[in-house]
Amino acid sequence: MATRRGFGALRRLPSKRWQASYTGPDLGRHTAPHTFASKADAEAWLVHERALASRDDWLAPRRRAELAERLAPPTFAEFARQWLADRSLKPRTREGYEHLLRRYLEPEFGELLVSDLTPALVRRWWAGLSPDHPTVNARAYALLRAILTTAVTDELLASNPCRVRAASNPPTKKEIRPATLTELDVLVKEMPDQLGALVLLCAWCALRVGEVLELRRCDLDLTRGVVKVTRAVSWVRGQPIVGTPKSAAGTREVSVPPHIVPALERHLEKHVRPGADALLFPSMRDHERHMQPTVLRTAWRKARDAAGREDLRIHDLRHTGATMAAMTGATLAELQARLGHSTVAAALRYQHAAQGRDAEIAARLSDLARPKDE
């Protein structure tokens, strides 16, 4: 039963709670967004609404509630998910960020308001991470810092609370020892016959594995002696995703060393189906599908063990290719273009001193010091 008043009306519900409503300046009937435990609380709401209704900027109660919810400060989980949605990322990168959010950041900060995050909270979280996974810890911290940098830009925070010195720097990786020419020969021979050419392309052309696994017959122009890199494949949640190469500079043409052209010609003739779109290295079971990474890794482990290089990852063949290119006298800019890097700094990571080169340099220095008449 409703109780009439000078302003508005009250009604006691079967649940014993109270409902309040009134006719607004727009002549519409407006009910409180929620019910009240007591009649006094409902009356207080009507008193407040009567004061608002006398103003020129009056809004309906539900409209005010909607605006208040929209303008409410976000939780970290809400802000982080929107931050991720707003970015154009490679599928594999997005999957990695989502994992870091779920596993490392949201359990600690998810329900907190972004504005409530402090240096002390971040420092306590960092100190509690397992020391057994330093690289993943560094990536999680770097992601947190990037998200909160945007929060500072959006004026949700006065300053970034991520202040742990060097926390986003992963530990120094072990020095990669490129494969020697002898080891490379063993690797090619020990791989399954249909994958020997993959090793040659990764090493002598310094291609990324994802780039090689997406190569098709039309991408290999052996008349001109080039391989065209315009796409790459990555695996996300067990499914192949074809996209552009890792960086803008990754779209490129790479000259093929003439000595591996015959091997590539044999591979095309023996293992690649006709048609411009035929994959160079398809699935062993279905030539229309991409090769599963697990299949490639299994074959690779056997080959590297046979070469006595249990430490060598298949990606390290790219380092091998960069090292051999540097030994020919290629400049950093030339290496950058061949490797498909956007910066010279990135190309620098792939330069390695070849075994025996330092002794050769020392011998040549002695040649300079030796008298001409000796």
- Last residue of one domain, picked from the residues 153, 170, 200: 153
pLDDT of residue 337: 81
Q: Among the ranges 66-70, 234-238, 285-289, 305-309, which has the highest mean pLDDT value?
A: 305-309
At 349-367, the pLDDT tens digits run 655 554 555 555 556 655 6
Name the more confident of 27 and 332. Answer: 27
- CATH number of the domain encompassing residue 321: 1.10.443.10
At 118-127, the pLDDT tens digits run 999 999 999 9
For range 63-74, the mean pLDDT: 74
Residue 203 lies in a domain: yes
Exactly one of 48, 163, 315, 349 is catalytic; which is it? 315
pLDDT of residue 373: 60
Exactly one of 267, 290, 341, 352 is catalytic; which is it? 341
- Taking the CA atoms of the chain, what radius of gyration do you get in angstroms? 32
Q: Domain limits at 28?
A: 2-71
Exposed/middle/buried for residue 285 (C-beta within 10 Å: 0-12, 13-18, 19+):
exposed
**347 pLDDT above the threshold of 70:** no
- Last residue of one domain, picked from the residues 10, 39, 71: 71
**Active site (annotated) includes residue 341:** yes
Say if residue 17 is in the same domain as residue 116.
no
133 is written with which tokens? 């996974």
At 96-112, the pLDDT tens digits run 999 999 999 999 999 99
Strands 9-12 and 29-31: unpaired
Exactly one of 208, 216, 304, 319 is catalytic; which is it? 208
**Active site (annotated) includes residue 141:** no
Say if residue 108 is in the same domain as residue 136.
yes
Write out the DSSP string of 298-362: HHHHHHHHHTT-TT--TTHHHHHHHHHHHHTT--HHHHHHHHT-SSHHHHHTT--PPTTHHHHHH
Q: What is the DSSP letter of 205?
A: S
Q: Position of tokens 């103003």?
A: 55
The Cα-based distances of 71 to 64, 213, 354 in angstroms read 10, 48, 60
Say if residue 326 is in the same domain as residue 235.
yes
Say if residue 205 is in the same domain as residue 248.
yes
For range 222-235, the mean pLDDT: 91
Residue 373 lies in a domain: no
352 is written with which tokens? 């390695």
**Active site (annotated) includes residue 338:** no
Residue 136 lies in a domain: yes
Say if residue 255 is in the same domain as residue 308.
yes
Residue 211 lies in a domain: yes
pLDDT of residue 197: 95
Residue 164 lies in a domain: no
Q: How confident is the model at residue 348 (pLDDT cuts 50, 70, 90)?
A: low
The Cα-based distances of 129 to 104, 105, 298 in angstroms read 9, 11, 32
Share of the chain above pLDDT 90, in %: 59
Say if residue 48 is in the same domain as residue 188.
no
**Active site (annotated) includes residue 48:** no
Report the domain count for the chain: 3
Say if residue 46 is in the same domain as residue 129.
no
CA distance 208 to 227: 13
The 3-state DSSP class for residue 166 equals: coil
pLDDT of residue 123: 96
Say if residue 189 is in the same domain as residue 311.
yes
Q: How confident is the model at residue 310 (pLDDT cuts 50, 70, 90)?
A: very high
Say if residue 106 is in the same domain as residue 56.
no
Q: Is the whole-model pTM more than 0.75?
A: no
Q: Taking Cα atoms as reference points, which of 111, 109, 103 lies closest to residue 123?
A: 109
* Nearest 10 degrees: Cα torsion 357, 363, 366, 372: -120
Q: Position of tokens 């519409």?
A: 28
Residue 260 lies in a domain: yes
**Active site (annotated) includes residue 62:** no
Exactly one of 318, 319, 338, 352 is catalytic; which is it? 318
Say if residue 204 is in the same domain as residue 336.
yes
CA distance 344 to 322: 13
Q: How confident is the model at residue 251 (pLDDT cuts 50, 70, 90)?
A: confident
**50 pLDDT above the threshold of 70:** yes
Compute the half-sphere exposure of residue 134: CA atoms within 13 Å on the CB side of its CA. Answer: 8
- Last residue of one domain, picked from the residues 136, 153, 170: 153
Residue 277 lies in a domain: yes
Say if residue 149 is in the same domain as residue 41.
no
Say if residue 342 is in the same domain as residue 285.
yes
For range 285-301, the mean pLDDT: 92
Residue 148 lies in a domain: yes
